[in-house]
Each structure stands twice: as structure tokens, then as C-alpha cells.
């Protein structure tokens, strides 16, 4: 056991305390900018859509997503929870048949 402790202490002493800069080591990539924090004081409800005033609803849902910084990928999933009446049946059919490939495609179909 004593010989292991001595070897360990030798190894510790051979390790430099401050790493030296080596030209052969790759330089680290620059850090990505921090993701903005969306700390909003006002709680907003997601606008529901029942089939009336589609242009008004598109405006409101886009404003909602911009306010909350919602990614394009998440928008379709969120919208699916807030469709009502016959519009929900249409949305479900379109989604199940692969018709919504992006948020823009959804808006155009809508």
C-alpha cells in the first residue's frame, strides 16, 4: 500500500499545475450566444379557434408565438390542442395524412 501511495504522489508532482498552451491542441470553439430568456410578466392564453374569423385567429396565434419565442417545430403541436369543432376534424385529417410539413404550410392550407 505504501508503494502505491508513493507512486501516486510522484504522479501528482509530475502533473503541471497550470496547463501549458500547446500548438498541437485544437483551440476551443467559441461559445454560442446564450438563448434569450422569455420571462414575461403577463400570462397570455392561447387563442382557441372554432372556425370563425380565421384571419383574426392567424394574427393572434402568430402574435402569441412571437411573444413566447415558440419554435417553428412546436407551433403545430401547440395549435392542435386549441382547435375546436369541425376545424379539429380537418386539422386531425391533415396532420394524420402528412399535409403539415411546416408552420408556413399549415398557414397556407388554413
pLDDT in tens, 72-86: 989 999 999 999 989
**90 found inside a domain:** yes
Pinpoint the alpha helices (H) of the chain. 2-14, 54-68, 72-80, 85-96, 103-109
**63 found inside a domain:** yes
**89 found inside a domain:** yes
Q: To 10 degrees, the CA torsion angle through 43, 49, 53, 59? A: 40
Identify the pLDDT of residue 35. Answer: 47
Identify the pLDDT of residue 34. Answer: 45
Residues of the chain with pLDDT under 70: 1, 3-41
- Residue 69 lies in domain: 53-110
**Number of structural domains in the chain:** 1
Identify the pLDDT of residue 44. Answer: 78
**71 found inside a domain:** yes
Please write the tens of the pLDDT for every residue from 29-40.
Answer: 555 544 455 566
Identify the pLDDT of residue 46. Answer: 83
Amino acid at each position: 500500500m505504501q508503494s502505491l501511495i508513493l507512486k501516486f504522489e510522484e504522479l501528482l508532482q509530475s502533473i503541471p499545475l497550470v496547463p501549458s498552451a500547446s500548438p498541437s491542441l485544437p483551440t476551443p470553439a467559441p461559445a454560442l450566444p446564450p438563448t434569450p430568456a422569455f420571462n414575461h410578466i403577463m400570462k397570455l392564453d392561447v387563442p382557441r379557434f372554432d372556425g370563425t374569423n380565421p384571419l383574426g385567429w392567424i394574427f393572434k396565434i402568430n402574435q402569441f408565438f412571437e411573444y413566447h419565442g415558440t419554435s417553428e417545430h412546436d407551433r403545430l403541436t401547440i395549435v392542435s390542442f386549441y382547435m375546436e369543432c369541425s376545424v379539429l376534424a380537418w386539422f386531425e385529417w391533415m396532420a394524420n395524412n402528412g399535409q403539415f410539413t411546416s408552420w408556413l404550410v399549415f398557414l397556407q392550407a388554413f
